[in-house]
Amino acid sequence: MSEMAFVPAIIFLVIVAPVWIIFHYLTKWRIAKTLSADDERMLSDLWHSASQMEDRIRQLEKILDAEAPGWRSKAS
């Protein structure tokens, strides 16, 4: 009777289990490859912050150019 259970167990371990494991990790990989809603929101916030900082830096450079014309050569 134990011989009858041995064959399905071997088939399961050789065919079913590897395919199951492969599909499991493929699904996990696909999920991890996409951005979640929180990640997209955070990326959007970071993009907005970077844009604001870029605008502020431009404004500061304009002010420095007007008030201290040689500041760029001193910074190098």
Instruction: Tell me the pLDDT tens digit for each residue of 22-35.
Output: 999 999 998 888 88
Assessment of whether the complete model's pTM goes beyond 0.85: no
| 38-62 pLDDT per residue, tens | 989 999 999 999 999 999 999 999 9
Write down the pLDDT at residue 46.
Answer: 97
Helix (H, G, I), strand (E, B), or coil: what is residue 76? coil
* Residue 25 burial class via C-beta count within 10 angstroms: exposed 0-12, middle 13-18, buried 19 and up: exposed
pLDDT band of residue 75 (cuts 50, 70, 90) is low
Q: How far is CA 1 from CA 5, 7, 10, 68, in A?
A: 7, 11, 15, 94
Sequence spans of domains, the chain: 1-34, 36-76
